[in-house]
Structure 1
């Protein structure tokens, strides 16, 4: 049986919120399933590249998912020890990832360390 190379965990704020988990739960079940399968692909295949995963620099990576209505979802994560820490997630609206999305993920990463 194949083993996970890294295990995904949700970033948790100091007051116990898990923003990526909350975002996922706001999506339709089918979209959650697609994103979950893509995260699982990264867990079992790490290190993995395109088209599922892309490095963003500054120790950040993104899981790339195509969901319903031709929308594109991104989950930004960092690898800390054997964990894939899910820092931030969003529906992509522009070709380039917004600086505000990267900044939020980086601030959450700093919050962990």
Structure 2
């Protein structure tokens, strides 16, 4: 049974499609893996951040992108937030946005 990938909102989806082509291509490749095999990916593709929040680790010649996501009942993966990485650490503001959206999604369900 396949998994379904949905986005928190249209803006999140659009921002990812506007990434540099190499990083976006890696994102699409990883999403195909998730649709087929589920969200239980490990490093180097994905990493658990705790409390139901995960990150996808997308790379391209242009740099590194990060996508925060969660899973829901019914084999759903919800893409919560994304950004192009410019530093070694995840900026606190990016993580805060993802955690806020995670709470919103969990509260709705």
Q: Could you state the TM-score of these two structures normalised by the residue count of structure 1? A: 0.81
Q: What corresponds to 1:52 in structure 2?
A: 45
The CA deviation at 1:35 is: 1.0
1:26 & 1:107 partners in 2: Cα distance?
Answer: 23
Q: Does 1:10 align with 2:4?
A: no
Q: Which shifted more, 40-49 or 71-80?
A: 40-49
2:11 & 2:61 partners in 1: Cα distance?
Answer: 21
Distance 1:38-1:107 versus aligned 2 partners, 3 A rule:
same
Post-superposition CA distance 1:7-63 (Å, at most 9, x none): 110112xxxxx2321112222444322211112212322312111111011210011
Post-superposition CA distance 1:53-75 (Å, at most 9, x none): 11011210011111232x11111
**Moved segments of 4+, more than 4 Å:** none
Identify, as 1 or 2, the structure richer in helix. Answer: 2
Structure 1 unpaired stretches of 5+: 13-17
Structure 2 unpaired stretches of 5+: none
Given candidates 14, 17, 20, the residue that maps to 1:22 is: 14
Q: What is the Cα-based RMSD across aligned positions, in Å?
A: 1.6
SS at match of 1:49: coil
SS at match of 1:50: coil
* Superposition pairs of residues 27-106 of structure 1, within 5 angstroms: 27-46=19-38, 47-69=40-62, 71-81=63-73, 82-106=75-99
Q: Could you state the TM-score of these two structures normalised by the residue count of structure 2? A: 0.84
Is the CA contact 1:19–1:88 (under 8 Å) kept in the aligned structure 2? no
